[in-house]
């Protein structure tokens, strides 16, 4: 990471307009409540709102395209009009295209272009940044955990393939955002190993997104006997700690349900980065006064 250009890691707030998402399914399913929650996410520290209309929760059935459009596009339009920067969490090119036309800025495809053969060309033609997330089970095996001999090396190799495919259809390297896909076809040990190796993902030389928020492996750490009993505030505190680790590794953004706690974590890491000797090579340590 180049410490002379320390940037604050962006906070992406999750807005699931679904009846069945993993941690907040049903809460924001109604249009007005979804928009109100999007505004609340912005007010509490989100730089980007990630609007999704299809749950990827293990075992959930796919929604049809018309229903996904109905859920997502009006919410995107209203939040964009209110000044939000929006990513659209979808595996469908048409939902991405219509959301971009309604004011979205970024495509977030958890299948990294594998689910819809035209997704990567939409990203190329619109020049919209696109999140390419690692996931092996995007076609009907959402809950499957796969075998890895070396999860870090294999996830990086598979992401490199997705990156090459995107570049081959004309997506500019600077518009590619990579995401290790925590919890997607991975068990808790895999997720922790990936988090321990975030530097390697940052070294791929694309923007890095990390999305750990409230996932099962966090709940299992906090409440091993019964993950469902993990306290929501404790899960958000653990998520914010992961946001700090991600920011320290140079992540461009963290995707979270509670922006307030993660925004503080990212701010702290940015302040430390801005005051590091590498950011101020000419500074004379010890010349400053003492402050609180
Ligand atoms: N996780 C979920 C949904 N969308 N998008 C990206 N890029 N990365 C993720 O890890 C990711 C995602 C599932 O979590 P949720 O049900 O809490 O939204």
Ligand 1 geometric centre to CA of 60 (Å): 14
Residue to mutate, 10, 27, 56, 210, ligand 1, most ligand atoms under 8 Å from C-beta: 56
**Structure confidence at residue 140 (pLDDT):** 60
Rounded-to-integer distance, Cα 250 and Cα 11, Å: 13
**Structure confidence at residue 1 (pLDDT):** 44
Rounded-to-integer distance, Cα 291 and Cα 57, Å: 48
**Structure confidence at residue 61 (pLDDT):** 77
Ligand 1 geometric centre to CA of 211 (Å): 6
Rounded-to-integer distance, Cα 184 and Cα 100, Å: 26
Catalytic-labelled residue, pool 215, 228, 235, 267: 215
In this structure, are strands 48-52 and 106-109 parallel, antiparallel, or unpaired?
unpaired
Ligand 1 geometric centre to CA of 181 (Å): 8
Ligand 1 geometric centre to CA of 277 (Å): 36
Ligand 1 geometric centre to CA of 123 (Å): 19
Interacting residues of 288 by C-beta distance below 8 A, sequence separation 6+: none
CB 239 within 8 A of CB 258: yes
Which ligand 1 atom sits nearest the alpha carbon of residue 14?
18
**Distance from CA of residue 85 to its chain's centroid?**
14
Rounded-to-integer distance, Cα 58 and Cα 26, Å: 16
Nearest CA to ligand 1 atom 12: 110
Q: Which helix (H) or strand (E) holds 269?
A: helix 259-274
Q: Mean pLDDT, consecutive 10-residue segments, the chain of 292 residues?
A: 67 91 65 95 98 82 92 97 98 98 98 96 98 83 75 97 98 98 94 98 97 97 96 97 98 98 98 88 52 55
**Structure confidence at residue 2 (pLDDT):** 46
- Residue 45, SS3 per DSSP: coil
**Structure confidence at residue 176 (pLDDT):** 98
Nearest CA to ligand 1 atom 2: 56
Nearest CA to ligand 1 atom 15: 22
Strand ranges inside 110-180, DSSP E:
130-133, 176-179
Rounded-to-integer distance, Cα 86 and Cα 71, Å: 15
Question: Which residues approach ligand 1 with their CB closer than 6 A?
Answer: 14, 16, 21-23, 56-57, 89, 108, 110, 131, 133, 179, 181-182, 209, 211, 255
Domains of the chain (ranges plus CATH)? 3-279 (3.20.20.20)
Which residues sit opposite 41 in a β-bridge? none
Active site annotation includes 255: yes
Give the Å distances, CA to CA, from 159 to 73, 195, 206.
Answer: 28, 16, 11
CB 38 within 8 A of CB 3: no
Active site annotation includes 77: no
Torsional sign, CA 27, 33, 34, 39: negative
**Distance from CA of residue 291 to its chain's centroid?**
36
Rounded-to-integer distance, Cα 274 and Cα 30, Å: 42
In this structure, are strands 176-179 and 130-133 parallel, antiparallel, or unpaired?
parallel
């Amino acid at each position: 990471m180049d410490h002379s250009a320390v940037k604050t890691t962006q906070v992406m707030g999750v807005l699931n307009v679904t009846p069945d998402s993993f941690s907040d399914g049903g809460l924001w399913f109604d249009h007005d409540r979804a928009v109100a929650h999007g505004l609340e996410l912005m007010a509490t520290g989100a730089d980007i709102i990630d609007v999704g209309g299809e749950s990827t929760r293990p075992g959930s059935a796919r929604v049809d395209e018309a229903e996904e459009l109905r859920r997502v596009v009006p919410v995107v339009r209203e939040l964009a009009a209110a000044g939000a920067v929006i990513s659209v969490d979808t595996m469908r090119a048409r939902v991405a295209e219509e959301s971009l036309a309604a004011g979205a800025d970024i495509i977030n495809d958890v299948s990294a272009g594998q689910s819809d053969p035209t997704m990567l060309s939409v990203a190329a033609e619109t020049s919209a940044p696109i999140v390419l997330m690692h996931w092996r089970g995007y076609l009907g095996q959402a809950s499957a955990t796969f075998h890895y001999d070396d999860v870090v090396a294999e996830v990086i190799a598979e992401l490199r393939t997705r990156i090459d495919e995107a570049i081959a259809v004309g997506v500019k390297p600077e518009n590619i955002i990579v995401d290790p896909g925590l919890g997607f076809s991975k068990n808790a040990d895999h997720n922790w190993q990936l988090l321990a190796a975030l530097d390697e993902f940052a070294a791929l030389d694309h923007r890095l997104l990390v999305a750990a928020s409230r996932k099962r492996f966090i709940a299992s750490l906090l409440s091993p006997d019964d993950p469902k009993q993990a306290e929501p505030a404790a899960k958000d505190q653990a998520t914010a700690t992961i946001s700090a680790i991600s920011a320290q590794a140079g992540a461009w953004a963290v995707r979270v349900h509670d922006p307030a706690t993660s925004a503080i974590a990212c701010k702290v890491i940015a302040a430390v980065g801005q005051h590091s000797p590498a950011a101020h090579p000419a500074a004379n340590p010890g010349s400053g006064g003492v402050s609180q």
